[in-house]
Amino acid sequence: MTRTVRTGRMTQDLALLVGDDVPHLGTEEFLAAVAETLHAAPH
């Protein structure tokens, strides 16, 4: 999950901690991004 956030994909609550104008994902979009990151990770 941290890899997903480090690439700039995060939910609104985390984005607000970074700044007011930071783009964010909805919950379902974020979960899809985490799944994508996990599938792309080397095993």
Tokens of 9: 């994909």
Give the whole-angstrom CA distance, residue 31 versus residue 41: 15
The band of 37, judged by pLDDT with boundaries at 50, 70 and 90, is: very high
CB atoms within 10 A of CB 32: 14
Instruction: Give the per-residue pLDDT at 43.
Output: 72
pLDDT of residue 17 exceeding 80: yes
**pTM for the predicted model, two decimal places:** 0.81
Instruction: Give the per-residue pLDDT at 25.
Output: 96
